Amino acid sequence: MTVKHYLQFSDFTQDEYAYIMARTTELKRRFKAYETWHPLHDRTLAMIFEKSSTRTRLSFEAGIHQLGGHAVYLNTRDTQLGRGEPVEDAAKVISRMTDMIMIRTFGQDIIERFAANSRVPVINGLTNEYHPCQVLADIYTYIEERGDGKSLDAISGKTVAWVGDANNMSYTWIQAARVLGFHLNISTPEGYALDEQLIDPKDQPFYTVFKHPMDACKGAHIVTTDVWTSMGYEAENEVRMAAFKDFKVTANMMAVADSSAVFMHCLPAHRGEEVDTEVIDGEQSVVWQEAENRLHVQKAVMEYLLRGRFE
Ligand code: CP
Ligand code: NVA
């Protein structure tokens, strides 16, 4: 039997996302109403972290618990993975003892090798190349804020502006643009442009590169950014601080966006670097909703991967 994984945004179809969005709304409603729903009773999620995390760890751990299951936290500092056990061997062992595995690691190749050797579904909790659970939460948040909280119609045909690094978040937004039918305007500093080798040629019609971030923001329905230095790139921090200084989301950028535009950031944020305080703490910001929704979209993904569709 083929095991279904969630390693990048393009692993699910538009039809699957339509189901997951509607299901997220239902799971969130049940949780808020204190209704018990334990479709993953007795199931165990292994969570492997090779990088730091607040939101991803907490949302997966609380999420599996709310679905009736249990989480085991593993990090490379105190597992044999950190002492050189091959990824393939670890995948074979961990997937014989658990029902699902979430991994936060460095290269996408690591999670691909892990998944190829796993008997159970593997979920990407962030790699250097992709962060699908975060973009899923962001798009769900947009649908909740500007649509009916269920239908993908709210995001279809819209424009998303990305200001900043060509990183795991921006490559995931590019994939999402094609799968869900919206357009991405992207503006990165010189020397930090997109690596086309990481982009499926089929995705190219769904994004446009702008030299100036202000131009990317014009008419956008979502303006989003991320840290200037992602985890794993800390040695470049000083050089990046200089290169990215004009790639900060400001109130002027929000002013040229659509009047209904929201500001998004996956967090953690650095006020005064990639975003001005008045924007991230302003009325158009939906950053806390994005963080909260990580919990509920991931419950929908976990339930779907292990149990399929419910309605
Ligand atoms: N946005 C996000 O993935 O946050 P953490 O690094 O805290 O998990
Ligand atoms: N691009 C950031 C996202 C953190 C959630 C990083 O990889 O560090």
Mapping DSSP onto H, E and C, the string for 191-218 reads CCCCCHHHCCHHHHHHEEECCCHHHHHC
At residue 213, does pLDDT exceed 90? yes
For the chain, helix, strand, coil in percent to 5 are 45, 15, 40
CB of 267 sitting under 6 A from ligand 1: yes
Q: pLDDT per residue over 65-107, tens digit each? A: 999 999 999 998 889 999 999 999 999 999 999 999 999 999 9
- Of all residues in the chain, the percent with pLDDT exceeding 90 is 97
What's the pTM?
A: 0.98
Under 8 Å between Cβ of 147 and 155: yes
Closest CA to 203 of 186, 227, 226: 186
- Does the annotation count 42 as an active-site position? no
Question: Is 175 assigned a ligand-binding role in the annotation?
Answer: no
At residue 144, does pLDDT exceed 70? yes
Please tell me the predicted confidence (pLDDT) of residue 77.
87
CB of 286 sitting under 6 A from ligand 2: no
CB of 231 sitting under 6 A from ligand 2: yes
Q: Whose CA is nearest to atom 7 of ligand 1?
A: 54
At residue 281, does pLDDT exceed 70? yes
Q: Which domains does the chain have, with CATH numbers?
A: 5-131+291-307 (3.40.50.1370), 134-285 (3.40.50.1370)
Q: pLDDT per residue over 52-67, tens digit each? A: 999 999 999 999 999 9
